[in-house]
A and B are shown apart, each in its own frame.
Chain A
Amino acid sequence: MNLRAGTDDVRSQLRHPMKHARGLGSAQHGVDHWWTQRVTAAALIALGLWFVVTVLSLLHADYATAKAMVARPWNALLLILFVVTAFWHAVLGLQVVIEDYVHTRWKEVVLLVAIKFLAVLGALAGVLAVLRIALGV
């Protein structure tokens, strides 16, 4: 009898089938990070192009024109989506870069938390500012 196959049998019996049902892997995150990075990337193709075109259309615009442009409902909505999606995608990407290159554990954790704080701060500030412009508060 193949001893190796025997051990594998025992191991597979000891593993709970729930592991496969959940599909979360040893880090307990599954494919969430990978998948969210791709979905936000796909959204940013359209939102990024829209943003560049919008900024170009605002060349030489005075304050009132620029404000009126952002205040238009579709522009306000797309700008909010762009800011939130960009920060989300940035956090996911920066996280991988930090995990790859920062080898001192405490520095790694501090940076990982710091980029999340900064991103939430930036995204919320952006959203509130767009709302303020759009709602004329």
Chain B
Amino acid sequence: MADTQRPLSPHLQVYRWQIQMVTSILHRATGVALAVGTLLVVWGILALASGEAAFEQFKTCTGSPVGLILLAGWSWALSYHLCNGIRHLVQDTGAGYAIPQFVRSSWLSVIGSIVLTVAIWACVLIHGGAA
């Protein structure tokens, strides 16, 4: 916690939840999760470079129940961070700051991320499942 003794501003628990703060918090949370996920990507490439045994081990880990749950989480995190990231890039131009637009684009990010995640896993299922 803070070194300072000054009073701190009220935190999350005192606010009524609304979609704008959910999208903002999720953007950070998914960003942190994806930073960890980058290490998994590197693990995969390293396994591929070091030989068949290492790659099979990587496939076994990612194909295990825990691995699949993590992959599902990361696929949604990537989808969400992508959709909401594009939303932020649009907002960086100064567009979409009227409250109704802001709320609508927030929902668009959330719904878009779910659609993308479902599309990814539909693709996996069509190709005969993950394991």
Contacts and interface: CB of A to CB of B under 8 A. Distances in A.
B39 A122 contact: yes
A70 B50 CA distance: 13
B110 to A, nearest CB: 18
A38 B124 contact: no
Contacts, number: 92
Contacts of B124: 56, 59
B48 A66 contact: yes
Given A48-B82, A94-B32, A105-B3, A125 B55 contact: no
Contacts of B39: 122
Given A48-B82, A94-B32, A132-B49, A38 B1 contact: no
A24 B85 CA distance: 26
Contacts of B130: 59
Interface string B92-131: 1000000000000000000000000000100110011010
A67 B50 CA distance: 11
Given A48-B78, A52-B78, A60-B127, A86 B31 contact: no
Given A103-B2, A129-B46, A87 B127 contact: no
A129 B48 contact: yes
A41 B89 contact: yes
Q: Is the interface of A mostly helix, strand, loop or mixed?
A: helix
B69 interface: no
Q: Is the interface of B mostly helix, strand, loop or mixed?
A: helix
A54 to B, nearest CB: 11
Contacts of B75: 52
Contacts of A86: 34, 38, 41
B127 A63 contact: no
B32 A67 contact: no
Given A38-B89, A45-B85, A56-B120, A79 B32 contact: no
Given A52-B78, A90-B38, 7 more contacts: A66-B55, A70-B48, A90-B34, A93-B35, A129-B42, A129-B48, A130-B49
